[in-house]
Amino acid sequence: MRENLEEDEHIIASIPQIWGIALGFGGFFHKNKEGILILTNKNVIFVPRYIWITAKEKERYFAGDKAGIERMSNYNESDLDEDLTENPKSWIMPLNSITDVRSITTRKVDFLRITFTEKAKEKKYDFGITKTVTNYPYRQPLVFKNLDWSLWIGLIVSKLKKS
């Protein structure tokens, strides 16, 4: 039985090794997080969890500098539910509260920006992938990689129209 997901909720696409950045005043007090970006039929979810992937898998998810629409192998709804239980600071953005999804360019790098409302406040999160990270004193991005998010934007927008 699921604790954090509805019974009819299922994963449409997921992408690992994505860095989430909280924007605005709230982002000032939070460090960047590395994790998995997941689109279900009801939510966009970011779970802070590092997953190591091979070069072949990396090519599958990020072929031609495009964020691909794939489901991670060996990661299903029960794994997601378990991760949400273990990581209470996961970001859950219900599709019906999302007001804007677009690609923005900052420092010559494209990020996926999701804007949504939560408790009558607007929140914004940026998502990107890194070229290099530092592991000391804790894992943080140094240089972000330019990535085309058009496939993800199109998929999220199509799900917004259905909900």
Give pLDDT tens digits for 89-121: 999 999 999 999 999 999 899 999 999 999 999
pTM: 0.93
Contacts of 117 (CB under 8 A, 6+ apart): 97, 99, 123
CATH of domain 11-162: 2.30.29.30
**Distance set, CA 109 to CA 37, 76, 132, 144 (Å):** 18, 31, 14, 7
Give pLDDT tens digits for 7-32: 999 999 999 999 999 998 665 667 78
How high is the pLDDT of residue 98?
97
Q: Locate 112 and state its tokens.
A: 């996926």
Give pLDDT tens digits for 127-141: 999 999 998 888 889
Q: Locate 9 and state its tokens.
A: 């909720």
Residue type at 149?
W
Kindly state the average pLDDT of the residues 149-161.
94
Kindly state the average pLDDT of the residues 83-88.
95
